Structure formats: C-alpha cells, structure tokens
Amino acid sequence: MSDFPAQPLPLLMNPKAGSLFRSGLDAWLKEHAEGLRIIHTESADDLTEKCRRLADAGEPVVLAAGGDGTLMHAAQGLIGTDTALGIFPCGTMNVFAREMGIGSRHFDLALKAAQGSSRQMVDIFTVNGNPFLQLAGFGPDATVVKLIQPWMKKRLGAFSHALTAIQVATSHLPLITVTLPNGETEQGTQVIFGNGKRYGGEGHLFADAKYDDGVLDAAVFHMESAGILSEILSYMLLNGINDHNLGDTTRMCRMEGCTITADASLDYELDGDYAGTIRPGEEAVIERLPQQLKVCVLDEPVPLTPLDHVKAHPMVRAFMKRLVDIKDY
C-alpha cells in the first residue's frame, strides 16, 4: 500500500506558462488539487530559490511543473539535499520525465510517484558550473534551439524543431574538439552528451547510458548538418549507439568530464534550452558534481508497448493534433 503524505505536497508552477494549458495540467488540477498546495513562481531563479527554501525547511518532496529546462532549474535547489524532486511533465519533449518512467504529460503517474516511496539517485553534470539533468548538446542542435521563437513553440510544438533544423542545415559548422582528462581528443561538428538513454522524446540515442553510473556518454559526429540529423535518426531506430553499430563518421566515449573548444563560435544547449555560445579561445568545462539529485519514481514501472512509445512522441502528438484541428476547421 502506498504511503500517502499527511501534508499536501508543494507543487511549484508558473501560472503564466502556456504549457500548463496546452498540456492539460490546468484542467487536471481542477479535479486533483486536493493533496497539493500550489506555489506560484515568477522566474527560473525564483523557482530554484523556492525549491531550496522548501528543502531547507525539511520538505520530503517538492513537485515542479514544466519541461526539461524547468525541471533543471528546480533541481538546482534540491541537489545534494534529502528532498526528492517530483516531476510534473508538461513541456514539449519531457525527455527526463520519460527517462524516469513518468512519461510525458501523465499527471496521474506523476502524482502516484510523488506519493509513493521509491526514489532514484541521479548523477548531475555541469557545463561551466551550470547543471543539466539529461542532455547537453554542442553544435547545430543547440543552434536550432537558439533560433526557435516562443510563438513557434506555442503554435507548432515539436514541429518547431524540425522546421528550424531545415534552416540550420545549410549553415557552416565549427570544428569541435573534445579533450578528455587523459589528454586524448575527439573532433567533430556535433557533440551530444547523455546522462540517460533518451534524446528528443522516447527515442534512445545512447543504448547503454545510465543516470547513476558516474559517467556521461558522448556521441561525436563529424559531418554536415543534414547528415547529422539522418545519422541520429538511424541510431535511434537501432535503439541507440553502442560499440557494435558505430559508423565511420561517429565516435562514442564515456567520461566523468572533458573540455570543449571550437575554431568558430559554437552554440550549446542544456536539457533542450539554449545555454550559451563559446567563442574561439574560450572553452566549456564539463564536470560531475559530487552530490546527486533524489527523484521520485514509480514503485511499479508502467510497461509501454512500442505503439505507446510512438504515440507518446511529441512530434506524433503534434501531427495528430494538427489533423484534429484541420478536421474541426
């Protein structure tokens, strides 16, 4: 039997965020608000600070509503504490929520995990001191995120990534150098670091990555933008990169940290949010924090069929919604 908390669980959310309505969370809360106390936030920094205060006050669980970027900011206030992060996934991709077995926009499961007793410890890595939960990308995938306008995300959802990728496909790509702690180097035009298996939704990019093994998995691609996209998709169809399916233009390595440099301005993203640009002569240092993050997970994982995974993908959902809109027009 689940241990239901005596006190309402704090749920932090930005009341102005459009994702609350688009995801259905606003409607869900009207029927399930009992057992929750809603705490409004005004900014990412405000979210981090309120999470930190709740942890200092001894709250066992703090819930955060949002996508991967929002969860990253919530985690910053909870890393290294005894307070567990409860995930209410209402973003576009919700990659970390999928990795933790909560899925995308499955709020009943999210509440069940928070009210249960199972907790998972998650490694936290940083780029120049800024933490990320699931993914860090250096190259065209970060440029795509940088160029997406808020109205595009609001109206097109996951399709906004595909449309912007076409724009980036013809741009010049800097040469990226990854320097490992032992001095070895890898070079390419796109580098993706994974703390878990998933990338861009349900698809697995890293076949063997684990969020609690103390190392990051890294894929280094050396080709033009259009080739990178097709290469990533091919690996996802193979259920992720491993030592046995590497192509001639892809390298994979695992590390606790590294240094990134480039011969031209290089964009990077953390958990799907544009995080900055490295200029020539500058570097990005990736390190693992000594502390971990405690995350609420389901006591009994909910099995999903391959069709469930396909239907849950944000691009499929966006396509189905578009069909419904056209039909109702």
Which one, of 73, 99, 84, 75, lies nearest residue 17 by Cα?
A: 73
Q: Rounded CA gap, 159 and 163, in Å?
A: 6
> What does the CA dihedral 272, 275, 281, 287 come to, rounded to 10 degrees?
-70
Same domain for 238 and 297: no
If asked whether residues 135 and 113 sit together in one domain, one would say no
Per-residue confidence (pLDDT) for residue 321, from 0 to 100? 65
Strand extents, DSSP E, 180-308: 185-188, 190-194, 216-221, 250-255, 258-262, 266-270, 273-278, 284-296
Indicate whether 151 and 66 sit together in one domain: no
Digit-coded pLDDT (tens) for 102-138: 998 889 999 999 999 999 999 999 999 999 999 999 9
Q: Which residues contact 160 (CB under 8 A, 6 or more apart)?
A: 148, 149, 152, 153
Query: Which amino acid makes up residue 71?
Result: L
Give the CATH number of the domain where residue 82 resides: 3.40.50.10330
Residues 102 and 187 in one domain: no
Do 206 and 258 share a domain, yes or no? yes
CB-based contacts of 59, cutoff 8 Å, min separation 6: 10, 83
pLDDT, tens digit (0-9, with 9 covering 90-100), for 258-274: 999 999 999 999 998 99
Burial class (CB in 10 A: 0-12, 13-18, 19+), 228: buried
Question: DSSP secondary-structure letter at 78?
Answer: T
At position 39, the amino acid (one-letter code) is I
The list of the chain residues with pLDDT below 50 reads: 1-5, 151
Q: Quick one: pLDDT at residue 224?
A: 82
pLDDT for 4: 45
Domain co-membership, 145 together with 262: yes
One domain, residues 168 and 31: no
Q: Are residues 148 and 119 in the same domain?
A: no
pLDDT computed for residue 153 by the predictor:
58
How far apart are the C-alpha atoms of 125 and 132, rounded to whole Å? 6
Say whether both 140 and 101 belong to one domain: no
> Number of structural domains, the chain?
2
Q: Look at residue 38 and tell me if it is in a domain.
A: yes
Does 160 lie in the same domain as 84?
no
Q: Is residue 320 part of a domain?
A: no
154 with 277, same domain: the answer is yes
Q: Are residues 261 and 139 in contact, defined by beta-carbon separation less than 8 angstroms? A: no
Domain of residue 199, residue span? 130-290
- Are residues 195 and 74 located together in one domain of the fold? no
